[in-house]
Amino acid sequence: MESVLARSEFPPSVYASAAADFIHDLGSESSGHTEFHYWLQPDVAALPTPFPTLWTGSAQLLPLLRWLKSGISRPFAMLYDLSAIDERQRQHRGEGPTEQPASDFTLVYQLLSLERDLFIVIKVALDAERLSAPSITTVWPAANWYEREVWDLFGIDFAGHPHLTRILMPHTWQGHPLRKEHHARATEVDPFTLSRHKQSVEQEALRFHPEDWGMSRASDTSEYMFLNLGPNHPSVHGVFRVALQLDGERIVDAVPDIGYHHRGAEKMAERQAWHSYLPYTDRVDYLGGVMNNLPYVLALEQLAGVPVPERAQVIRVMLCELFRIASHLVFYGTFAQDVGQMSPVFYMFEDREKLFGIVEAITGGRMHPAWFRIGGVAQDLPQGWDKLITQFLDYLPARLREYDGMVLKNRILQKRTRGIGAYDTKTALEWGVTGPGLRATGLGWDLRKKRPYSSYDQFDFEIPVFDGGDSYDRCRLRVEEIHQSLRIIRQCVDNMPSGHYNSDHPLTTPPRKARTMEDIETLIQHFLNNSWGPVMPPGETCAPIEATKGLNSYQIISDGNTNSYRTRIRTPSFPHLQMIPKLCRGLFVSDLIAIIASIDFVMADVDR
């Protein structure tokens, strides 16, 4: 098999200097600190989106993270992601100078520095006999849910965590699903039976005890009411549950409960071939359509060194922005609906329907086209595509002006949402908030500008910023983003490059067929890529993008196989929901609904 493995050749990265700066600062500034040691993994800093990787021991983790968060110059303010890897069956972990430390389970902390425009990775090697690490909830409150997730899916204990319970799986679940020995399909285990005993155990587990959720039943003066909002409720946008502790209609505490939409997308990635996993990505943020394909294919292209033709890049940008508009329109309509305005959502769904008409003409699909491919897109644009899109570009702005008057300028709506659920930039970074939720706090940080991928640097557009940080500004900001997306799409239409819609690299899926009947090497490559699917070179990669709701990335580990060894999906909605209790304490139930509406989450994006 080694003979058909493609070589990875990376083009020189424009961000290499940011990584080099960091490595330099790390060396010079950490010399005085004896409380932590680290080992810098030499190979990953060379990727087109480099992420310097530091290994450290679990005892030194807290001091190192504290120092990186506030000690180092231009610090890493955000805990971008926290996950783990079950390394026990992994074959390729580097050789010689790049060989990674021995580890059964590796904890992966991904940090982001806005000043440096740099993501870094901290890894902690754990022994299977002693699966425990210190909790970092004292450094970043956002780590709370992430650590619960790692505990749930890997069974790694976090010492000092305030509430380490399962978060995605049911509380009665046996085993930890992302461990390699855990079955991926029901057919790998005995058929499911529900005995009377099992049923009663399951039902008993559903009984609500406020104490288990960290809430008290009464104060000195009053007895609280507990309201179970969801998992089925008109305003929670999917299956999301919030347990509310109420004093009258005032919220004393709120505890979100997620996991109802968990489908094990990360586990599935370990079974599916690289190519056939694409449709699963579409369903992560199901309003984002092909936007979800992008971080996945970008990561793989980076891993395998697949160059993407310009035309494919611009087609991708155009489709992504179309979906950004579609997603924001759904947000806009449901936002108005959740504060009680009935009609806008109908108008906006009609616009979205027009958008889907275009998407259908181009891709053949509507909400989940799964249309991007490793190395390009699935087909070329159809004849007359530009006319369709131009029509839409001319049509939408007038509609948006109408909605301004209907929704944004409505006095009742303003009274309901202004100053509700407000937070500042520092809090946002602390809690891992990205996307419109971050930009509404006055920080114009958008990955499309800061770290352009897929030729975004070729486009002329602005990053809308508002500084109220409240529900109203989050809505206003998305409306502005629709206008900017229209601008980007117009530029795509005007300047669509000619050329091929996919790469001629051998790992492109599906591989080009042109030369297969002429030479045997191309024929073999084509046959294998179509039957097995492509074999990705071993390595680790990650390529974040600015998705509709914030930063989305796929952290992929290839073990030189036809499928992924580990795929970690970092979604924006997950940390956003974690903030809800902080935002709604002391407010009314109606305010909670407005806050939930303004966050713009998709439960599939939270639970994966």
Partner 1 sequence: MTAAPSAETFPVWLNIFGILISVVVIAAGLTWVERRLLGFWQDRPGPNRVGPFGLLQVVADMLKLFFKEDFIPRFADIPVFVLAPVIVMATMLLGFSIIPFAPAIGIIDLNIGLLFFFAMSSMAVYSVVLGSYASNNKYALLGGLRAAAQTVSYEVFMGISLMGVVMLAGSFDLRSIVLAQQGGWFVLPQCVGFAIFLVAGIAESHRLPFDLPEAEHELTAGYHTEYSGMKFGMFFVGEYLSILLISSLITTLFLGGWLGPWLPPILWFALKTGLLVGLFILLRAALPRPRYDQLMTFGWKLMLPLALLNLVATGGLLLWRAG
Residues of this chain that interact with partner 1 (CB under 8 A) are: 225, 227-228, 233-235, 249, 336-343, 346-347, 350, 410, 412-413, 415-416, 588-591, 593
Considering beta carbons, is residue 337 or 573 the nearer one to partner 1?
A: 337
Q: Please, where are the H alpha helices in 283-435?
A: 293-304, 310-338, 344-363, 385-403, 411-417, 425-430
User: Could you tell me how far CA 40 lies from the centroid of its own chain?
Assistant: 26
Considering beta carbons, is residue 170 or 340 the nearer one to partner 1?
A: 340
Min. distance of Cβ 341 from partner 1 in angstroms? Answer: 4
Considering beta carbons, is residue 286 or 588 the nearer one to partner 1?
A: 588
Considering beta carbons, is residue 420 or 551 the nearer one to partner 1?
A: 420
Euclidean distance between the first and the last CA atom of the chain, given in angstroms as a whole number: 33
Considering beta carbons, is residue 346 or 527 the nearer one to partner 1?
A: 346
Considering beta carbons, is residue 26 or 593 the nearer one to partner 1?
A: 593
Min. distance of Cβ 574 from partner 1 in angstroms? Answer: 24
DSSP secondary structure of 135-152: --TTT-TTHHHHHHHHHH
Q: Cα separation of 122 and 111, whole Å?
A: 8
| Cis status, amide bond into 452, omega within 30 of 0 | no
Angle in degrees, CA 318, 320, 326, rounded to 5? 105
Min. distance of Cβ 196 from partner 1 in angstroms? Answer: 22
DSSP classification of residue 570: E
197-to-167, 202, 206, 260, 407 alpha-carbon distances in Å: 24, 9, 15, 23, 53
Min. distance of Cβ 602 from partner 1 in angstroms? Answer: 18
Considering beta carbons, is residue 194 or 342 the nearer one to partner 1?
A: 342
Min. distance of Cβ 601 from partner 1 in angstroms? Answer: 16
Which among 450, 433, 462 has a CA at the least distance from the CA of 551?
Answer: 433
For helices 385-403 and 344-363, give the axis angle rounded to 10 degrees: 170
Considering beta carbons, is residue 402 or 424 the nearer one to partner 1?
A: 402
DSSP classification of residue 563: B
Min. distance of Cβ 235 from partner 1 in angstroms? Answer: 5
Min. distance of Cβ 6 from partner 1 in angstroms? Answer: 52
Min. distance of Cβ 543 from partner 1 in angstroms? Answer: 38
Burial of 173-190, coded b for 16+ CB within 10 Å and e otherwise, reads: eeebbbbeebeeeeeeee
Q: Cα separation of 49 and 52, whole Å?
A: 10
Which among 299, 230, 218, 280 has a CA at the least distance from the CA of 258?
Answer: 230
Min. distance of Cβ 346 from partner 1 in angstroms? Answer: 4
Considering beta carbons, is residue 339 or 599 the nearer one to partner 1?
A: 339
Torsion of CA 147, 599, 547, 482, to 10 degrees: -170
